[in-house]
């Protein structure tokens, strides 16, 4: 998991948290652990959340998104 936090000032002061990982369950496990062990969590307010899928690269033998469906070669 690669995690980064960025402070923002506009439109309102806050903290933007971004993470990249191969499995979504890695991040949800981290959030579950933070829920019971992070002392700062009671002082925060989450205002938004999103999850995005970023497709792996492609070439002539592996079309974009082919690994998602178990195909390794173009048909």
Q: Domain extents for the chain?
A: 1-31
State the Cα–Cα distance between residues 23 and 38, nearest whole angstrom.
22
Which ranges of the chain would DSSP assign to H, the alpha helix?
24-37
- Tens-digit pLDDT string for the chain (75 aa): 777 888 888 887 888 888 888 888 888 888 888 888 888 888 888 888 888 887 777 888 888 877 776 655 544
Please report the pLDDT score of residue 18 as a whole number.
83
Please report the pLDDT score of residue 22 as a whole number.
80
pTM summary value: 0.48
The burial class, CB within 10 Å (0-12 / 13-18 / 19+), for 64 is exposed
């Amino acid at each position: 998991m690669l995690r980064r936090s960025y402070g923002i000032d506009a439109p309102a002061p806050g903290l933007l948290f971004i993470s990249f990982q191969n499995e979504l369950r890695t991040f949800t496990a981290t959030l579950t652990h933070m829920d019971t062990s992070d002392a700062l969590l009671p002082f925060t307010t989450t205002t938004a959340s999103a999850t995005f899928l970023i497709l792996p690269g492609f070439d002539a033998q592996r079309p974009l998104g082919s690994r998602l469906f178990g195909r390794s070669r173009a048909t």
